[in-house]
Amino acid sequence: MLDPTRALISTMQRPETASPPEATRPRRIYALDGLRLIAALTVVIYHYMARGGGWHTDVKTLFPQAFPVAAYGWLGVQLFFLISGFVICMSCWGKSLKDFFVSRVVRLYPAYWFGVLATTLTVALIPGGAKPLPWNAVITNLTMLQEPIGVEHVDGVYWTLFAELRFYLLFAVIAWWGLTYRRVLAFCCIWAVTSVFFANAPTNSPLRLLIMPDNSWYFIAGMAFYLMYRFRPNLMLSGVVLLCFSASLPFALNTWANTEKYMGHNVPSWPVVLIIAACFGLMALVATGKLSGITWRWLPYAGALTYPLYLLHEVIGRELFSSLSPRVPSYVLLGSVIVTMLCASWLVHRYVERPLGRRLKQGLAQL
């Protein structure tokens, strides 16, 4: 009879010596581009049709059929974090710590700088809405470190970027050491254990801030899903994913409980569990190669829209609704603003992200 301990160890070691299935799969996973766009659009719909900033009438009255669905759009962030754990592992495998650092700076900052300045300018120019932050707060926002410094966000969605930065900081340890199956798996397990340990720590605790036990489960699961994709699924990785799903639910339900003060309305809690389960299920399909057959050529273009769309949509959309909603039919205005945000996102990608990213990468490569 096989000793259970030896069996567990073998599940941790076997993928290092076996030929990884990733070698037989396409380099680009088109489905992830589609999932990113879905995640971004759900967050947009939440802010526009459920949270309701800027409208002159209660959004539940304006969109009575759509509101019960849009009220769960904030869960797009959880899907983003799952994808991020997967993609960071995939894009950084076999690269040095310097390559990891350069890739993250180039990916995050060009569009972000534009988003901070464009949002500030929009708030300053459109009358009747919010007031822009002081210039020194805007400058602090350009660092992406305004949250730990105690400065208000130019746009509320930027809180997720600081969560990404903390993930990158933790992941940099493994990037410096060198990514292998066992090291990434060990990192996942250690982060999961520390997340449990700090789950009830004071919210202002520096270690809790770094460990972020409320969102760590999605990043950990995303990394485990990538190990499945690269090396094939096994009992250990499946256990990590199931642990992350189960542990994420209390924090997600706590967020659901807080949505009332943002939306002014209550919605049932059970869809939260189903939606998170669906997000994990979609990533499981990606990890097992079930979605590798999706190769629609437009998906990379759709994926390119997601980050600028996420950065630009909330406050600028709220200002447009505040200025135009008394004079424009609600659905016409909603559709027009979404299309405008998508077009603006493409322009930012084409004329800001790509050229500025290339220059930034060239400059950082010389360090």
Q: How far apart are CA 220 and CA 239, in angstroms?
A: 12
Q: Does 110 have pLDDT greater than 70? A: yes
Paired tokens of 71: 């009220």
Does 229 have pLDDT greater than 70? yes
d(CA 36, CA 84): 10
Q: Are 337 and 315 in contact (CB under 8 A)?
A: no
pLDDT tens for residues 47-92?
Answer: 999 987 789 888 999 999 999 999 999 999 999 999 999 999 999 9
pTM of the model: 0.91
With residue 60 as reference, give the H or E element that holds it.
Answer: helix 59-62
Is the pLDDT reported for residue 367 higher than 90? no
E-assigned strand segments in the chain: none
Residue with tokens 């979609």: 282
Confidence of residue 130 (pLDDT cuts 50, 70, 90): confident
Residue 266: pLDDT above 50? yes
Coil vs helix vs strand at 58: coil
Query: Mean pLDDT, the chain, as a whole number?
Result: 90
Task: Give me the phi and psi of 74, to 5 degrees please.
Answer: -60, -20
Instruction: Provide CB contacts within 8 A for 197, sequence distance 6+.
Output: none
Least confidently predicted of 23-32, 47-56, 159-168, 235-244: 23-32
